[in-house]
Amino acid sequence: MFRLRHIDSFDEPALAPYRTMRRPKEHEEQGIFVAEGDKVVERLLQDRRYGIISVVLPPDRLEEFTPLLQSRPEDFEVFIAPKSLLKDLIGFHMYQGVLAVGRIPETPPLETVLAQSPRPMLLVAADDLTNSENVGTLVRNCAAFGVHGLLVGETCASPWLRRAVRNSMGTIFQLPTVETASLVLTLRQLREAGIHIIAAHPHTDQRTLTQGKFTGDCCIVMGSEGTGIRPEVLEVCDEAVAIRMPPTVDSLNVTSATSVFLYEANRQRGLM
């Protein structure tokens, strides 16, 4: 059951997660994340797997969100704040004015993700993506193209950072995501399970995208557009393939490249 409270400042302790939105390390240490925007908060409230700590709404949105708030089983507070207060908090005019704080779920064991994935399996691994907005958009691309699980390397930004959750449009709630302590060891584990590892590597002269083998169980490894995949990660991949581009273009943004790779994987599987 939710408790309704009208506020005129964000000073009290219960509202600390909203005051510290620009300090993501604190949120990670507390095991919480901030959901921002209509669609993201709506998807969070709809999913019972994620605990709700609190919600912030402007007065004119309460009636609209009340059915979803009432559907939640846990106790939490709903703070009603004028949009002018939200503007002061965030630093810019927030048209939707909808925020929530949820609990970061425990990372599922890799074995569980593999056991629950249909065949042929399609996984994506992210290596060295430090921009949280890119991570969030990559999550959204994975959800759009039917990826069964995302592996986030130890050098990546967390998919539970506020900007990542926002850019995912809440699809992070539906995509099984494993944050790894060592992407190299995790990829080796996949290879031992018979899963083909494909590196998205723009500097290879050996194979182009359409020559890659995506029809069986596979995991596509995406690296940063600046430095690409780390050498030690590239070494454990079964093959490296590249999107054919003119010599005047070095590479695509990682999220654009992910869409192209996943489209090709779905095409080879007869889904496109």
pLDDT at 24: 81
In this structure, are 33 and 72 located in the same domain? Answer: yes
- Give percent of the chain above pLDDT 70: 95
Choice between 205 and 238, residue whose per-residue pLDDT is larger: 238
In this structure, are 163 and 214 located in the same domain? Answer: yes
In this structure, are 73 and 42 located in the same domain? Answer: yes
198 and 221 in contact (C-beta within 8 Å)?
A: yes
Work out how many domains the chain is built from and give that number: 2
Residue 107, judged by CB atoms within 10 A of its CB (0-12, 13-18, 19+), counts as: middle
Q: What is the mean pLDDT of residues 41-45?
A: 97
In this structure, are 180 and 248 located in the same domain? Answer: yes
134 and 163 in contact (C-beta within 8 Å)?
A: no
**Whole-model pTM above 0.85?**
yes
Q: What is the mean pLDDT of residues 6-31?
A: 88
In this structure, are 59 and 124 located in the same domain? Answer: no
- The pLDDT-based confidence of 230 (bands split at 50, 70, 90) is very high
Structure confidence by residue, pLDDT tens digits, 241-257: 999 888 888 778 999 99
Domain that residue 120 falls in? 110-268
Structure confidence by residue, pLDDT tens digits, 73-103: 999 999 998 878 877 766 544 556 799 999 9
Closest CA to 35 of 18, 49, 14: 18
CATH of the domain at 218: 3.40.1280.10
Mean pLDDT taken over the chain: 92
CATH of the domain at 34: 3.30.1330.30
54 and 78 in contact (C-beta within 8 Å)?
A: yes
